Amino acid sequence: MVSMPFKAHSPLVELGRRALLALVLMGISTVIVYVDRGSYIDNVTHQPITFIDALYYSTVTVTTTGYGDITPLTPWARLISAIVVTPLRIGFLVLLVGATLEVLANEGRRGLRDASWRRHMRNHTVVIGYGTKGRSAITTLLNHDLPSDRIVVIDAKGTAVAEANRHGLAAFEGDATRRDLLRRAEVAKAREVIITLPRDDTAILTTLTVRQLNARCHIVVAGREEENLPLLRESGANAVVTSADAVGRLLGLTTVNPHVGEVVDDLISSAHGMEVIQRMVSANEVGARPSDIVNERVLAVVRNGTLRNFYDPTLDKLKAGDSVIVVRRALTRHRATPQPPHS
């Protein structure tokens, strides 16, 4: 069945709506009694039933108080009370009492789950922006065995948050430049933050805010314009990917050298053809030259935090603690579809 987007209301709004419906039911009961007021008797004052009496009778009847001072006498009045007023009484109780308890229970359960999530969420990945780029980044993370419960999404659109939830991801709706929202997403404890926002100015402000909250996390930002790259880096990003410029270069490569563009597209695609990965040097590779590694092609070596390309003349033999960036045949992975968390 199709799941349509819906607008969530606050608990107070929900309680107010239900209280209004309960008043409508009470009003219907009052009108029924007042219209047929000649069939009722006041056992205390023995006066004719007024509108105030009808309202009073409906109130004590619908709320199941039932003092018994006003009672129906005629058979049809009792029949109407059994057939019409009794269902109104049940509906009143369901709306005002049952729904109230449900709202309060749901909010309490949600609060407990939220508190538990915050206690256990650390060294996770926060993805800000659940558009095409954000979803592609998350797909790559999942394909590289990052558990879905270690990924948190932030997006300003409720539909995007609902979609992330359907994919089994924790998500927050709101403006990612707000500190309180980033704190709720536990950005201060995050290991990585990926920012894929549609505007560079918003991405810069978000990066600054994230960096102030977490000075040690690795921040990757998707920028749109080449001229904004210095600002994105100065704002605290560890890596900046220019989406528009990268797509433009790939289009140019594919036009001028179709096979080059095909190879580049293959490298950045996942789960088929070739892939680029970074891994640690194994024990049997220590002392070997990068060109000696079989079944893989070494593009660069990371030693002591410094990247050295394969053509670097100072790069000779591999050492313990090095990591290599290689091109290899993509391993066949069956992407695990994230499942929604159990209640």
In terms of domains, do 16 and 35 share one? yes
The count of domains in the chain is 3
Final residue before a domain boundary, out of 68, 90, 119: 119
In terms of domains, do 135 and 47 share one? no
- What pLDDT is stored for residue 324 in this prediction? 92
In terms of domains, do 277 and 167 share one? no
Q: Which of 328, 305, 308 is nearest to 317 (CA)?
A: 308
- What pLDDT is stored for residue 110 in this prediction? 66
- What pLDDT is stored for residue 25 in this prediction? 80
CATH number of the domain enclosing 29: 1.10.287.70
Four-point Cα dihedral 74, 80, 86, 89, nearest 10: -100
In terms of domains, do 29 and 93 share one? yes
Contacts (Cβ under 8 Å, ≥6 apart) of 290 = 298, 301, 310, 315, 318, 324
Number of neighbouring beta carbons within 10 Å of residue 207: 29
Dist CA 243 CA 133 (whole Å): 9
- What pLDDT is stored for residue 100 in this prediction? 63
- What pLDDT is stored for residue 210 in this prediction? 95
CATH number of the domain enclosing 162: 3.40.50.720
**Look-up of token digits 């007023």:** 85
Reported as a single tens digit per residue, the pLDDT across 179-221 is 999 998 899 999 999 999 989 999 999 999 999 999 999 999 9
Final residue before a domain boundary, out of 62, 89, 119: 119
- What pLDDT is stored for residue 187 in this prediction? 93
Q: What pTM did the predictor assign?
A: 0.57
- What pLDDT is stored for residue 2 in this prediction? 34
Contact 209, 177 (CB under 8 A): yes
pLDDT by 10s per residue, the chain, length 343: 333 344 555 666 766 777 787 788 888 888 888 888 888 888 877 888 888 888 888 888 777 676 777 778 788 777 877 787 777 777 776 766 666 666 666 666 666 677 777 778 889 999 999 998 899 889 888 887 888 889 999 999 989 998 888 888 889 999 999 999 999 889 999 999 999 998 999 999 999 999 999 999 999 999 888 788 889 999 999 988 886 667 777 777 778 888 887 887 777 765 567 888 889 999 999 999 888 888 889 999 999 888 899 888 888 889 999 999 998 887 655 444 444 443 3
In terms of domains, do 105 and 137 share one? no
In terms of domains, do 16 and 34 share one? yes
CATH number of the domain enclosing 331: 3.30.70.1450
- What pLDDT is stored for residue 220 in this prediction? 94
- What pLDDT is stored for residue 343 in this prediction? 31
Query: Angle, nearest 10°, between helix axes 51-62 and 11-35?
Result: 130
In terms of domains, do 195 and 240 share one? yes
- What pLDDT is stored for residue 112 in this prediction? 67
In a domain, 267, yes or no: no
In terms of domains, do 191 and 140 share one? yes
In a domain, 4, yes or no: no
- What pLDDT is stored for residue 165 in this prediction? 87
In terms of domains, do 55 and 102 share one? yes
In terms of domains, do 114 and 127 share one? no
In terms of domains, do 156 and 204 share one? yes
In a domain, 260, yes or no: no
In a domain, 2, yes or no: no
In a domain, 255, yes or no: no
Domain region containing 204: 122-247
Contacts (Cβ under 8 Å, ≥6 apart) of 277 = 325, 326, 328
In a domain, 261, yes or no: no
In terms of domains, do 115 and 33 share one? yes
